[in-house]
Amino acid sequence: MSSQDRLTMPVGEAMFTQRSIRRLRPDSLPLEDIRVFLEAAVKAPNGGNAQPGRFLVVTERKQLKALGALYHEAWWAKRKEIQGWHTRADIPPTEKTYLSASRLADEIGDAPLIVLPCAKRGTPGNSVFPWVQNMMLAARALGIGSVFTTLHPQVMERVMALFALPQDVEVFGCVPMGYPRGKFGPTARKSIGELTYFNRWGQPSPWA
């Protein structure tokens, strides 16, 4: 069956229920499903159709564990740098996303699959990120959860060495994927009235 035929979930359902899934079951993903979400990914727009994006798909447990340890270090490096937090006890209980993200940092090495979206160094992200979003939406339609995350420069050389990445290749993110332990569901966003202007900056839209 073609990848297109596998993706039968209405686009509205996929988009409106695709929240960040950070609690993943360790069960491996069918190779056939991996093919579907990758084929959907590369259908997204990219500048001049030069297709500079590359996906490094990690499924080997040893490599996942090693990347997981680096991700954990990177996540806490960011927290120390940005918020001054050193341990989970420093994260205020109101910071639900960060608390959930800190658990992902502990568990990411147990995910069945991590995708590192890459491209030649200097490639604008705007030719890579639409592919990642398509990938995550297609995965959602297959019942596979994901969350977009980034790595910290502190670990980047070791990530490059771990995957034998050439020096002229850049890693644009780190996307763990797997069947969710929780549920897909709605996301919290500001209204389009707050986020949209009409015809001139600052001019309210019909939904303001």
122: left (phi over 0), alpha (psi -120 to 50) or beta: left
Radius of gyration of the chain (CA): 18
By the rule CB under 6 A, 147 interacts with ligand FMN: yes
Q: Can you tell me which of 6, 14, 22, 85 binds ligand FMN, judged by CB under 6 A?
A: 22
By the rule CB under 6 A, 149 interacts with ligand FMN: yes
Which residues, 39 to 98, sit near ligand FMN by CB under 6 A? 97
Residue 174 bridge partners (DSSP): 149
Residues contacting ligand FMN: total by CB under 6 A = 11
Which residues, 187 to 206, sit near ligand FMN by CB under 6 A? 187
Q: Which is nearer to ligand FMN, 150 or 203 (CB)?
A: 150
By the rule CB under 6 A, 184 interacts with ligand FMN: no
- Write down the least CB distance from residue 101 to ligand FMN, Å: 3
Residue 145 bridge partners (DSSP): 178
Q: Can you tell me which of 17, 20, 59, 63 binds ligand FMN, judged by CB under 6 A?
A: 20
Residue 202 corresponds to which tokens in the numbers above?
A: 């600052």
Q: Can you tell me which of 7, 38, 64, 104 binds ligand FMN, judged by CB under 6 A?
A: 104
Distance of CA 89 to the CA centre of its chain: 26
By the rule CB under 6 A, 126 interacts with ligand FMN: no
DSSP assignment of 138-195: HHHHTT-EE--B---HHHHHHHHHHTT--TTEEE--BEEEE-BSS---------HHHH
By the rule CB under 6 A, 101 interacts with ligand FMN: yes
Q: Smallest Cα–Cα separation from 148: which of 123, 116, 118, 122?
A: 116
Kindly list the residues in this chain that would bind ligand FMN in the complex (CB under 6 A): 19-20, 22, 97, 101, 104, 147-150, 187
